[in-house]
């Protein structure tokens, strides 16, 4: 399955490059039809360039004057081309292909001094294919510009809401904490986020707002509900037990993605093995954070007391120690909208 996914992604990059090149050629042809002199110049530059390269390859030192003359001709033609484009208010970038990802030029790979590595757009494509049903939609409504603080009550009632300020003031503080989290996504000292609160107060919405901001930055993000998360781990272990060489990108992404969102913690089937799996995820991602970006968001309907009751002390202390706990309060927003 993994090989098939990589083949699909490779074909997708080939398609993107073809579309980009075809579009560039079409734009160039339209420009040539309007300004034929540009096509003459480009053809002459290409011809002189080929002649120049052949001379360099065959040069024995006696063709210096001819090479200089070719260089001068290329410069003269290039200067004329620039003047024509400027006179028609056309940028030199007009002739460059327009890629969906400027970082890798729609190849999926970035080459630098350390060698070739997968671009973030490639990594996100892997996750998108693997978690098509549980990943974040690029066309969703979850964005900070759509976040309406007025849906939260402006009254202060600690007995009713469990907080010392109004739910509206509280959600403003939480929104700022979310934006601060995004701004410090690469800082290993900056804590993860733990959203808690009753159903319908905006925990998932805020998580997806953060996810969308990071996706727009080219970051890798993975959203999973707790039941699906543990089902993936269980499925991986069943196959890996039989096949020592089993390579599961789906499973590895849980540990390697830049932002992992675990939604609805506490709705999964509870067992000692799942406690150990959750602890392994939290410990591994925390350890990875000193090397690479590795942040986690957890949301739950559980309060601190119930969290201590359901999960081991090691898990609870790990959450309390490495996560900022943000308590959302208010009325069920989905009911209000309905």
Dig out the tokens for 178 from the structure. 């979310």
State the angle between helix axes of 2-34 and 36-58 in degrees (0 to 180), rounded to the nearest 10: 120
Q: What is the pLDDT of residue 307?
A: 82
State which residues of the chain have pLDDT below 70.
Answer: 1-3, 57-63, 130-135, 138-139, 243-247, 336-338
- How many whole angstroms separate alpha carbon 106 and alpha carbon 17? 6
CA–CA separation, 44 and 237 (whole Å) = 63
Q: How far apart are CA 194 and CA 304, in angstroms?
A: 11
pLDDT for 177? 97
- The pLDDT of residue 36 is 93
Angstrom distance (rounded) from CA 277 to CA 297 = 16
Which whole-number Å values give the CA distances from 204 to 8, 20, 277, 289, 307, in the listed order?
Answer: 31, 37, 22, 23, 18
Q: Give the SS3 label for residue 49.
A: helix
Rounded Cα gap, residues 53 and 69, in angstroms: 13
> Tell me, what's the pLDDT at 327?
94
- Per residue in 154-164, pLDDT (tens digit) is 999 998 998 99
How do 115-118 and 109-112 pair as beta strands?
antiparallel
The pLDDT, as a whole number, for residue 134 is 46
CB 75 within 8 A of CB 93: no
Q: pLDDT by residue (tens digit) across 267-298?
A: 988 888 888 899 999 999 999 999 999 999 99
**What are the residues whose beta carbons fall under 8 Å from the beta carbon of 66, sequence distance 6 or more?**
55
pLDDT given at position 304: 75
CA dist., res. 259 & res. 247, Å (int): 21
């Amino acid at each position: 399955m993994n090989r098939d996914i990589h083949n699909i992604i490779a074909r997708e990059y080939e398609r993107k490059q073809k579309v980009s090149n075809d579009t560039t050629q079409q734009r160039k042809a339209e420009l040539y039809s309007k300004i034929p002199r540009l096509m003459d110049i480009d053809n002459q530059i290409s011809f002189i360039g080929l002649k120049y390269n052949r001379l360099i390859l065959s040069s024995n030192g006696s063709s210096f004057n001819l090479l200089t003359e070719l260089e001068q001709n290329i410069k003269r033609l290039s200067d004329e081309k620039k003047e024509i484009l400027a006179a028609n208010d056309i940028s030199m970038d007009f002739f460059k292909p327009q890629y969906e990802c400027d970082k890798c030029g729609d190849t999926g790979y970035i080459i630098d001094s350390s060698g070739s590595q997968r671009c973030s757009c490639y990594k996100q494509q892997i996750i998108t294919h693997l978690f098509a049903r549980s990943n974040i939609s690029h066309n969703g409504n979850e964005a900070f510009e759509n976040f309406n603080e007025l849906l939260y009550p402006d009254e202060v009632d600690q007995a009713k809401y469990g907080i010392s300020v109004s739910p509206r003031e509280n959600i403003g503080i939480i929104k700022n904490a979310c934006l601060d989290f995004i701004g410090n996504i690469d800082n290993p000292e900056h804590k993860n986020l733990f959203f808690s609160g009753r159903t319908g107060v905006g925990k998932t919405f805020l998580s997806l707002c953060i996810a969308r901001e990071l996706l727009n930055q080219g970051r890798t993000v993975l959203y999973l509900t707790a039941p699906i998360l543990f089902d993936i781990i269980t499925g991986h272990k069943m196959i890996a037990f039989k096949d020592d060489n089993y390579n599961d990108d789906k499973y590895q992404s849980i540990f390697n993605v830049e932002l992992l969102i675990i939604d609805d913690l506490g709705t999964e089937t509870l067992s000692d093995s799942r406690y150990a799996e959750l602890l392994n995820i939290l410990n591994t991602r925390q350890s990875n954070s000193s090397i690479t970006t590795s942040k986690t968001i957890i949301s739950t309907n559980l309060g601190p007391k119930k969290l201590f009751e359901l999960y081991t002390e090691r898990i609870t202390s790990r959450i309390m120690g490495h996560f900022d706990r943000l308590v959302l309060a208010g009325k069920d927003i989905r009911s209000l909208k309905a």
